Amino acid sequence: MALWVDRYRPRELAKLDYHKTQAGHLINLCAQGDFPHLMFYGPSGAGKKTRIMCLLRELYGPGVERLRNEIMNFTTPSNKKVEIMTVSSNYHIEVNPSDAGIYDRVVITDMIKQIAQTQQIDPSGQREFKTIVLSEVDELTKDAQHALRRTMEKYVATCRLVLCVNSTSRVIPAV
């Protein structure tokens, strides 16, 4: 049985009843077939995740709602193992890299490299790029944010990042 909040959550950008101009811009970006890295910001509970899920559904269709939980393992330079819980579908992956604590830089660079370098299962898919949703980017260390910026630039051809932020003041301007 689904929670009331989840049952009545909008599933399409056209059905969002707040910030309709933003929804219109996102619909136009999806219709063009290619879009840049995006950053959604606002206070907790403002609907950032709902808008992101609507965007993903607009891009990939209803298959994006078939989610599974996975655990990704990373090895730090000091050979320490770090486990991160992710939520993913066949089209995207959601991760909160700040859960790794001081090892967030390693998690970000390794995860984006790993996802961007793998081939898509269905080459005739709707999009030529993969989408990674990063939550709480403002909680990352400055070192991790600089690593994120470099990695974003390197894999822009095969991977798009959607950043979810509570406060833009704690994110470096380059991101």
Task: State the CATH architecture for 9-170.
Answer: 3-Layer(aba) Sandwich (3.40)
Block mean pLDDT (10 aa), the chain, length 175:
75 84 88 87 90 91 90 90 91 90 90 82 67 93 92 88 93 87
Tokens coding 159 = 């991977």
* pLDDT of the residue at 68: 93
> Which residue stretches of the chain are H helix?
4-7, 20-32, 48-60, 104-117, 142-154
* pLDDT of the residue at 125: 57
Q: Which residue has the tokens 């136009």?
A: 28
* pLDDT of the residue at 147: 92
